[in-house]
Amino acid sequence: MLAFSEAEAEHYGYAEELFSLNLLDCEGADYAIKKWLLPESTGWSHVGRELRREAARVCIGQEASFSDIWLPGLDERWKIGIDFETHLGDLMRFQRQVWEVIFGEVFVAHSINDYARRVDKEFEQFPDFPNLWGEARYSKWPSTFKVT
Protein backbone atom coordinates (compact mmCIF):
# COMPACT_ATOMS: atom_id res chain seq x y z
CA MET A 1 0.00 0.00 0.00
CA LEU A 2 3.07 2.24 -0.06
CA ALA A 3 1.92 3.84 -3.34
CA PHE A 4 -1.10 5.22 -1.45
CA SER A 5 1.01 6.90 1.24
CA GLU A 6 1.01 10.67 1.32
CA ALA A 7 4.81 10.89 1.18
CA GLU A 8 5.04 8.58 -1.86
CA ALA A 9 2.20 10.34 -3.68
CA GLU A 10 3.68 13.78 -3.02
CA HIS A 11 7.19 12.68 -4.00
CA TYR A 12 6.01 11.33 -7.37
CA GLY A 13 3.53 14.15 -7.99
CA TYR A 14 0.19 12.36 -7.92
CA ALA A 15 -1.07 13.27 -4.44
CA GLU A 16 -3.74 15.66 -5.68
CA GLU A 17 -5.16 13.07 -8.08
CA LEU A 18 -5.00 10.21 -5.56
CA PHE A 19 -6.54 12.14 -2.69
CA SER A 20 -9.36 13.44 -4.87
CA LEU A 21 -10.56 9.86 -5.39
CA ASN A 22 -13.11 8.00 -3.32
CA LEU A 23 -11.91 4.45 -2.77
CA LEU A 24 -15.41 3.47 -1.61
CA ASP A 25 -16.43 3.87 -5.23
CA CYS A 26 -15.54 0.65 -7.10
CA GLU A 27 -14.55 2.51 -10.27
CA GLY A 28 -12.37 4.99 -8.38
CA ALA A 29 -10.78 2.18 -6.40
CA ASP A 30 -10.17 0.12 -9.54
CA TYR A 31 -8.56 3.13 -11.23
CA ALA A 32 -6.28 3.80 -8.24
CA ILE A 33 -5.32 0.15 -7.79
CA LYS A 34 -4.46 -0.28 -11.46
CA LYS A 35 -2.65 3.05 -11.74
CA TRP A 36 -0.54 2.98 -8.57
CA LEU A 37 -0.58 -0.43 -6.87
CA LEU A 38 -0.52 -2.85 -9.79
CA PRO A 39 2.65 -1.39 -11.37
CA GLU A 40 4.44 -1.84 -8.03
CA SER A 41 3.67 -5.56 -8.14
CA THR A 42 5.45 -6.11 -11.45
CA GLY A 43 8.84 -5.90 -9.72
CA TRP A 44 8.06 -8.58 -7.15
CA SER A 45 9.98 -11.83 -7.30
CA HIS A 46 8.00 -15.09 -7.40
CA VAL A 47 8.79 -15.69 -3.72
CA GLY A 48 7.90 -12.10 -2.79
CA ARG A 49 4.63 -12.28 -4.69
CA GLU A 50 3.60 -15.47 -2.88
CA LEU A 51 4.54 -14.04 0.51
CA ARG A 52 2.55 -10.87 -0.15
CA ARG A 53 -0.42 -12.90 -1.43
CA GLU A 54 -0.54 -15.02 1.71
CA ALA A 55 0.02 -12.01 4.00
CA ALA A 56 -2.89 -10.28 2.26
CA ARG A 57 -4.96 -13.46 2.62
CA VAL A 58 -4.30 -13.49 6.36
CA CYS A 59 -5.21 -9.80 6.68
CA ILE A 60 -8.48 -10.15 4.79
CA GLY A 61 -9.34 -13.42 6.54
CA GLN A 62 -8.73 -11.83 9.92
CA GLU A 63 -10.42 -8.54 8.97
CA ALA A 64 -7.17 -6.65 9.52
CA SER A 65 -5.92 -3.71 7.52
CA PHE A 66 -3.04 -4.22 5.07
CA SER A 67 -1.41 -1.09 6.50
CA ASP A 68 -2.03 2.07 8.47
CA ILE A 69 -1.95 4.24 5.33
CA TRP A 70 -4.90 6.63 5.08
CA LEU A 71 -7.26 5.67 2.25
CA PRO A 72 -9.14 8.53 0.54
CA GLY A 73 -12.91 8.30 0.69
CA LEU A 74 -12.74 5.38 3.09
CA ASP A 75 -10.96 6.62 6.18
CA GLU A 76 -12.35 10.15 6.43
CA ARG A 77 -15.79 8.68 7.03
CA TRP A 78 -14.72 8.38 10.67
CA LYS A 79 -15.17 12.17 10.88
CA ILE A 80 -18.89 11.85 10.18
CA GLY A 81 -19.37 9.12 12.74
CA ILE A 82 -19.50 5.93 10.66
CA ASP A 83 -19.53 2.99 13.07
CA PHE A 84 -16.62 0.56 13.20
CA GLU A 85 -18.50 -2.39 11.66
CA THR A 86 -19.50 -0.31 8.63
CA HIS A 87 -15.95 0.96 8.23
CA LEU A 88 -14.52 -2.53 8.56
CA GLY A 89 -16.93 -3.86 5.93
CA ASP A 90 -15.94 -1.05 3.54
CA LEU A 91 -12.24 -1.71 4.17
CA MET A 92 -12.62 -5.44 3.56
CA ARG A 93 -14.49 -4.83 0.28
CA PHE A 94 -11.68 -2.52 -0.82
CA GLN A 95 -8.96 -4.99 0.20
CA ARG A 96 -10.73 -7.80 -1.67
CA GLN A 97 -10.80 -5.56 -4.72
CA VAL A 98 -7.05 -4.95 -4.33
CA TRP A 99 -6.59 -8.72 -4.03
CA GLU A 100 -8.55 -9.46 -7.20
CA VAL A 101 -6.70 -6.84 -9.28
CA ILE A 102 -3.19 -7.62 -8.00
CA PHE A 103 -3.46 -11.41 -7.82
CA GLY A 104 -6.01 -11.98 -10.60
CA GLU A 105 -8.17 -14.38 -8.63
CA VAL A 106 -11.17 -14.40 -6.34
CA PHE A 107 -10.25 -14.28 -2.66
CA VAL A 108 -10.64 -17.52 -0.71
CA ALA A 109 -9.89 -17.52 3.01
CA HIS A 110 -7.59 -20.12 4.56
CA SER A 111 -7.40 -21.09 8.20
CA ILE A 112 -4.93 -19.14 10.30
CA ASN A 113 -3.74 -22.57 11.42
CA ASP A 114 -2.25 -23.01 7.93
CA TYR A 115 0.28 -20.26 8.65
CA ALA A 116 3.19 -19.50 10.93
CA ARG A 117 3.85 -15.88 11.91
CA ARG A 118 7.45 -15.12 10.94
CA VAL A 119 8.65 -11.87 12.51
CA ASP A 120 12.35 -11.43 11.74
CA LYS A 121 12.88 -7.97 10.25
CA GLU A 122 14.95 -9.04 7.24
CA PHE A 123 12.17 -11.39 6.18
CA GLU A 124 9.56 -8.64 6.56
CA GLN A 125 11.63 -5.90 4.90
CA PHE A 126 13.04 -7.90 1.99
CA PRO A 127 10.39 -10.41 0.85
CA ASP A 128 11.88 -10.50 -2.65
CA PHE A 129 15.40 -11.36 -1.51
CA PRO A 130 15.60 -14.63 0.47
CA ASN A 131 19.41 -14.36 0.45
CA LEU A 132 19.07 -11.36 2.81
CA TRP A 133 16.92 -13.17 5.35
CA GLY A 134 18.49 -14.06 8.64
CA GLU A 135 17.57 -16.84 10.99
CA ALA A 136 13.82 -17.32 11.11
CA ARG A 137 11.99 -16.07 14.20
CA TYR A 138 8.37 -16.80 14.86
CA SER A 139 5.69 -15.40 17.13
CA LYS A 140 2.18 -16.34 18.15
CA TRP A 141 -0.74 -14.74 16.34
CA PRO A 142 -2.42 -11.84 18.16
CA SER A 143 -5.07 -13.00 20.60
CA THR A 144 -7.66 -11.06 18.59
CA PHE A 145 -7.13 -13.33 15.55
CA LYS A 146 -9.87 -15.85 14.92
CA VAL A 147 -8.74 -19.46 14.89
CA THR A 148 -10.77 -21.49 12.41
In a domain, 136, yes or no: no
In a domain, 45, yes or no: yes
* Mean pLDDT estimate for the chain: 93
In a domain, 137, yes or no: no
Domain that holds residue 87: 2-109
If one counts the domains in the chain, the total is 1
In a domain, 86, yes or no: yes
Rounded distance between C-alpha atoms, residue 78 and residue 100, angstroms: 26
- pLDDT digit string (tens) for 58-113? 999 999 999 999 898 888 776 677 788 888 899 999 999 999 999 999 999 999 99
Rounded distance between C-alpha atoms, residue 90 and residue 39, angstroms: 24
Rounded distance between C-alpha atoms, residue 35 and residue 140, angstroms: 36
| pLDDT (0 to 100) of residue 113 | 92
- pLDDT digit string (tens) for 14-66? 999 999 999 999 999 999 999 999 999 999 999 999 999 999 999 999 999 99
